[in-house]
């Protein structure tokens, strides 16, 4: 994966973010939490070290179980309620930016699909993705 800068934000513009460096992972999450978050079959995410992500604007935070069952935070815009990014106790020190909030969505190039044990029958992944029933280790 190449080093780069990505930018994005919520629908109304009240919250903006910037992430620099090399994403550690890009993928699609099929856990039930992400399905409910997106109102669809999955959430696309780009994982960066939290120290390389800058947030401008205040977010509303909800905390509950993630796909692993461990606590996770979801950050939303308090004005337009766009889901922007998440933090998980399962992978501390990482920020998962939700790909649908990117200014340039062509920067999202998923390589994996996680929590496929919860994938809906009507939701299909590209055959090029490496699939994991849970979160891959290592």
Domain ranges within the chain, ordered by starting residue: 9-131
Residues 6+ apart with CB under 8 A from 43: 28, 29, 34, 35, 37, 83, 98, 99, 100
Class of domain 9-131: alpha beta
Nearest to 102 by CA among 22, 7, 26: 7
Three-state secondary structure call for residue 120:
coil
CB 35 within 8 Å of CB 114: no
Q: CB 116: neighbour CB atoms within 10 A? A: 19
pTM above 0.75, yes or no: yes
Q: Please write the tens of the pLDDT for every residue from 7-22.
A: 999 999 999 999 999 9
Q: State the pLDDT confidence band at 41, using cuts at 50, 70 and 90.
A: very high
Residue 43 has pLDDT above 60, yes or no: yes
């Amino acid at each position: 994966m190449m080093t780069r800068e990505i930018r994005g934000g919520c629908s109304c513009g009240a919250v903006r973010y910037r992430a620099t460096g090399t994403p550690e992972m890009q993928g699609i999450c099929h856990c039930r939490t992400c399905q409910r978050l997106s109102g669809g079959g999955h959430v696309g995410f780009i994982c960066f070290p939290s120290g390389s992500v800058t947030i401008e604007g205040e977010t509303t935070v909800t905390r509950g179980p993630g796909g692993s069952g461990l606590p996770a935070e979801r950050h939303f815009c308090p004005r337009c309620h766009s889901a922007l990014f998440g933090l998980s106790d399962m992978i501390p020190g990482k920020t998962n930016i939700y790909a649908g909030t990117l200014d340039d969505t062509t920067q999202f190039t998923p390589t994996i699909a996680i929590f496929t044990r919860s994938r809906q029958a009507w939701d299909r992944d590209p055959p090029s993705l490496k699939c994991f029933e849970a979160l891959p280790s290592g």
